[in-house]
Amino acid sequence: MKIAFIGLGIMGKPMAKNLLKAGHELRVYDRNTATLEEMKAAGATVCGSSSETVEGVDLVLTMLPNSPHVKSVMLEDDKLADKMPKTAAFIDMSSINPVASREIAAELEKRGIQMLDAPVSGGQPKAIDGTLSFMVGGKQELFDKFKPVLEAMGSSVVLCGDVGAGNVTKLCNQTIVAVNIAALAEAMQMGQMCGVEPQKIFEAIRGGLAGSTVMNAKAPMMMDQNFQPGFRIDLHIKDLNNVVDAAKAVDAPIPLTQMVLEMMKILHHDGDGSCDHSALLKYYQKLTGEVLHH
């Protein structure tokens, strides 16, 4: 399949490489020349502009930071929706506000273009090994047609409902991950301060009810004081702000989410926004003056 891929960042670049490995023809553009050289070496066709990437394609994929970026690329500045073939479809893999997903889909529908929103979970490691989880919103027929493309980048691809449902589900995911990481950091810090080695706590708990994918991924990082992203605090703040907006629209109570969001904002103001979200541990270390160890 001939695909335009927009957004070759920490997640997008390895996802694009997995599409190439699966045999798809990829057209890419990026302001970072080093990234373009890397993608060219991987087999992608490097274009001179974002507009050029959508020429003659079957599918346009975006993996961008937030709602304004997707709107800018598709409808406002680059206006790719007016330049892509009317026979092509659009899949936005960015994690954005579901309201924005529905607005973009409505504008594309006026142009005769169908859209799926398909945000992902798994962070950079799963983007690299092609085992991301896709949460998809859109029509069943369109989902069935392009599911194999998403399966080239992920091990789980689930249709959650109509357009916007993917991003609603992603917001639920980000809430659970954020609260889970905060609870893990809080418990590990308390356990160490009570005289038990964090590694023993981890080994004892991981196989029980409290065990989780989050624990397996983040507890070793916390004990190693390794806060290289992964998934940055600042990006998680963006997602939780979208949770707050979505919850406000339907009057849903989210006290735990709001508490963790405030913790992350404090870390951002302390200069830790570019750290992995496992750096929520730093919130507790700053309060206690004690560093978690193995």
* Separation between Cα atoms, residue 278 and residue 231, nearest integer Å: 9
pLDDT score at 137:
98
How many residues does this entry show for the chain?
294
* Separation between Cα atoms, residue 115 and residue 130, nearest integer Å: 22
Closest CA to 131 of 144, 140, 122, 141: 122
Contact present, 46 and 35 (Cβ < 8 Å): no
pLDDT score at 31:
86
Q: For the chain, which domains are there?
A: 2-161 (3.40.50.720), 168-288 (1.10.1040.10)
Give the pLDDT confidence of 93-128 residue by residue, as tens digits.
Answer: 999 999 999 999 999 999 999 999 999 998 888 999
Got the DSSP string for 26-38? Answer: EEEE-S-HHHHHH
Closest CA to 144 of 167, 104, 116: 116
Catalytic status, residue 170: yes
Candidate list 170, 218, 238, 282, residue with the active-site label: 170
For 111-241, list the strands marked E by DSSP: 115-117, 120-121, 132-137, 154-161
Phi and psi torsions of 5, nearest 5°: -120, 115
Give the pLDDT confidence of 173-192 residue by residue, as tens digits.
Answer: 999 999 999 999 999 999 99
The residues, ordered by sequence, that sit 6+ positions from 69 with a Cβ below 8 Å of its Cβ are 7, 94
- Dmax (CA) for the chain in angstroms is 64
* Separation between Cα atoms, residue 294 and residue 220, nearest integer Å: 8
Neighbouring C-alpha atoms within 13 Å toward the C-beta of 116: 30
Closest CA to 101 of 10, 15, 162: 162
pLDDT score at 123:
86
Please identify every stretch of the chain with a pLDDT value under 70, giving residue numbers as ranges. none
Closest CA to 166 of 90, 111, 59, 219: 90
pLDDT score at 229:
87
pTM of the model: 0.92
pLDDT score at 230:
82
